[in-house]
Amino acid sequence: MLSYVLTCASVNSLAVQYSIACALMMKIGAIDEILCIFSCQSRSYSFTAMAMVTKTDISVGSVHLTPPVFLAPLAGITDLPFRNLVSSFGAGLVVSEMVASQEMVQAKAGVREKAELGFHVENTSVQIAGRDAYWMAEAAKLVEANGARLVDINMGCPAKKVVNGYAGSALLQDLDHALTLIEAVVEAVDIPVTLKTRLGWDDALLNAAELGKRAEAAGIQMLTIHGRTRCQFYKGSADWNAIAGIKQSVTIPVIANGDIVNGASAQKALAASGADGVMVGRGAQGRPWVLAQIASDVFSCAPPKIPQGQDRIDMICGHYDAMLAFYGSELGNRVARKHLGWYMDDLNTPKDLRRAILTEKNTAQVLRKLQNLDDYEVAA
């Protein structure tokens, strides 16, 4: 936060002086809020304006990411078809689903596909997880060889299966071991390595700031913080204010994550945390354009063209076709159902049509029924 004082003894109108203060702040950067303090001393009024100065790009080593609005890694969601769709609207970075390091190196069926880069290598990071330094390093080498610009280490996943395997957010309980994994990955690759974690294990162990400092010293070049503890899972609200202390403890870029769903929440998260950018997860479900919309609202990027009517149906059908091509018809149809459900939620699709689409096994019939979504919208 920067504080500016403007004194205008010759201007009688408070409204005019307020406008001058706003104009000054607009010259400096995007405004989260302006606090004006009026002290009537003769005809002199004192203004204190607080502005959040935002940059439209982030440097992570030699990699420049713009705008600083990123797609979070989401298991079973941020696969290649969805990342490509989000990228088509505009995103500074898209991150793959979390990939288990040992299973990736050993080429377990279905694992390497999670790290598939497709045609949007330029803004893709692959996230790896694990508990063994050897497998983490070997997985990072594969990620680099496949062309990713960044490799991200997961130390924030709260899922019991991951935590019970002593990976993800379980590592917040043993920072010494966490650092051995970080050091192994950093030493294994030439591309920048980043880290995603949470505030801590629980309210009694809020150690993300310590992890951040040690991770930076070990070579981590960007830190993403989900504003909850592991024991909160996704309950309650993300604590963006708590991210501020972590931001102050490091010099590398910090990204705020958690409950960021639109421009307004992104601005609040940035103002509260002092972070350099935001990462959007569940807020993008059914709304692949939302990152571009946030970038427009917060960083003055060009607004996305949000598809309406038949254009929306074409987008949904295109995403469905891409999933069938990526996974094959049978698996693709099953995996696509969650996305189709979110799209239909956004369109307020009637329950009977929604049910018919989500239970249909014939992919040609699914596409035919999806076209009826537009018929309903026109009729409505």
Mean pLDDT value across residues 193-204: 96
Residues designated as active site: 157
Cβ-based neighbours of 213, under 8 Å, separated by 6 or more: 249, 250
Residue 304 lies in a domain: no
293 and 361 share a domain? no
**Last-in-domain residue among 11, 28, 51:** 51
Q: What is the pLDDT of residue 35?
A: 38
Q: Kindly report the pTM of this predicted structure.
A: 0.84
Residue 86 lies in a domain: yes
User: Is the pLDDT score of 13 beyond 70?
Assistant: no
148 and 292 share a domain? yes
Q: Which of 27-36, 143-152, 234-243 has the lowest mean pLDDT?
A: 27-36
For the chain, what is the domain count? 3
Q: Which of 21-25, 87-91, 288-292 has the lowest mean pLDDT?
A: 21-25
45 and 63 share a domain? no
40 and 175 share a domain? no
Give the model confidence (pLDDT) of 60-77 as tens digits: 999 999 999 999 999 999
What is the Cα gyration radius of the chain? 23
25 and 69 share a domain? no
8 and 131 share a domain? no
pLDDT band of residue 38 (cuts 50, 70, 90) is: very low
Give the model confidence (pLDDT) of 360-380 as tens digits: 999 999 999 998 886 654 333
Mean pLDDT (the chain) is 85
With contact defined as beta carbons under 8 Å apart, do 79 and 114 qualify?
Answer: yes
176 and 280 share a domain? yes
**Last-in-domain residue among 299, 333, 349:** 299
154 and 39 share a domain? no
Query: Residue 245 and residue 274: Cα distance in Å, rounded?
Result: 9
Q: How far apart are the first and last CA of the chain?
A: 47
Residue closest to 212 by CA, chosen among 270, 129, 155: 155
87 and 65 share a domain? yes
Residue numbers of the domain that contains 119: 58-299
User: Is the pLDDT score of 323 beyond 90?
Assistant: yes
